[in-house]
């Protein structure tokens, strides 16, 4: 049984999160510059059994693709090409950055730490992964 990996893909960085082998816990993995994401994933997938990749889908308030889709959609297409053996799914990522900032604030992180965009991206990826896991859990009921 493989892990599920989530990606919060941005213009400069991609936040990554992954489940444990039993797919119970979502944890932040890393933040990688977008130019290095494919090679990072190739290395990671060689070492770890990954069965599915979840990529955040930026939607506007009406549920339509946002402006960010213009750089995320080509990434997802390349991801599917590079890893044809893996399932690649999209999930609504609205509000994940705001939720990540709130999580950081609730955890007592100082303002300077909360301004760390790489940390926000990693937490956002974790929130995307948790949302996906919750949806899958509801589908089983």
pLDDT at 109: 60
Tokens in use for 109?
A: 């992180």
At 19-69, the pLDDT tens digits run 999 999 999 999 999 999 999 999 999 999 999 999 988 766 666 666 777
Alpha carbon distance 108, 125 (integer Å): 20
pLDDT score, position 107: 62
- For the stretch 66-89, pLDDT in tens is 677 788 899 999 999 999 999 999
What are the DSSP E strand ranges found in the chain? 3-9, 13-19, 26-33, 50-57, 87-92
Distance from C-alpha of 41 to C-alpha of 47, rounded to nearest angstrom: 10
Following DSSP, what letter does each residue of 43-83 receive, concatenated?
HHHHHS-EEEEEEEE-B-TTSSB-TTHHHHHHHHHHHHHH-
What pLDDT is stored for residue 112 in this prediction?
66
Q: Which structural domains are found in the chain, ordered by start?
A: 3-140 (3.30.420.140)
pLDDT at 69: 73
Residue 61: the pLDDT is 65
Name the nearest CA neighbour of 52 among 129, 141, 138.
Answer: 129
For residue 140, the model assigns a pLDDT of: 67
Strands 13-19 and 3-9: antiparallel
If you count them, how many residues does the chain have? 141
Residue 141: DSSP 8-state: -
Q: pLDDT tens for residues 99-129? A: 655 665 666 666 666 566 777 788 889 989 9
Check the CA dihedral 40-42-48-53 and report its sign.
positive
């Amino acid at each position: 049984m493989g892990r599920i990996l989530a990606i919060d893909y941005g213009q400069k960085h991609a936040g990554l999160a992954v489940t444990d082998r039993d797919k119970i816990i979502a944890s932040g993995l890393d933040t990688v510059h977008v130019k290095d994401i494919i090679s990072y994933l190739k290395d990671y997938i060689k070492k770890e059994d990954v069965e599915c990749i979840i990529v955040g889908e930026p939607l506007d308030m009406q549920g339509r693709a946002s402006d960010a889709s213009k750089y995320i959609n080509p990434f997802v297409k390349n991801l599917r090409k590079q890893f044809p053996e893996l399932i690649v799914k999209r999930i609504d990522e609205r509000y994940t950055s705001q939720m990540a900032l709130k999580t950081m604030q609730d955890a007592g992180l100082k303002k300077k730490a909360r301004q760390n965009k790489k940390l926000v991206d990693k937490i956002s990826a974790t929130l995307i992964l948790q949302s996906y896991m919750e949806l899958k859990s509801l589908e089983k009921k």
